[in-house]
Amino acid sequence: MDEGTRELLEPLPPSAKLVYYVLDAEGRFDQTGLAEETRLSTRTVRFAVEKLTEVGLVEEGLCPRDARRSVYQAVPPAERDPVDEPEATAETDAPAAAVAED
């Protein structure tokens, strides 16, 4: 697991970390499958998936067999949005600092 992933997982609850590890190791799951695999309640899985989606570690897609259901999978580090990187935010703050000095 890369350092960026660890930093994103650090503030999350243990249930979200467990769900992420299962998705990363095993692939795509729907909510019920995640609940069975992790032995967490479906409500806890739903909360964990929401938190993981917010930070960009998990993406939601449609189930190929049943379009009413969602499936979740871990987002590979190379495909994550670089906006979450500390370097990107430092660059966007630089012009504001230059204007403030004028």
CATH of the domain at 27: 1.10.10.10
Q: Compute how many other C-beta atoms are within 10 angstroms of the C-beta atom of residue 22.
A: 20
- Structural domain includes residue 13: yes
Task: State the pLDDT confidence band at 43, using cuts at 50, 70 and 90.
Answer: very high
- Structural domain includes residue 53: yes
pTM: 0.75
- Structural domain includes residue 37: yes
Q: Which domain holds residue 52?
A: 3-76
- Structural domain includes residue 89: no
Arithmetic mean of pLDDT over the chain: 84
- Mean pLDDT to the nearest integer, 38-58: 96
pLDDT for the residue 85: 47
Tokens of 9: 């997982």
Q: Which of 18-32, 53-67, 72-86 has the lowest mean pLDDT?
A: 72-86
DSSP symbol at 35? H
Nearest one of 64, 58, 65 to 27, comparing CA atoms = 58
- Structural domain includes residue 102: no
Task: State the total domains in the chain.
Answer: 1
Phi and psi, residue 59, nearest 5°: -120, 150
- Mean pLDDT to the nearest integer, 82-95: 49
- Structural domain includes residue 84: no
Q: Is the pLDDT of residue 97 over 60?
A: no
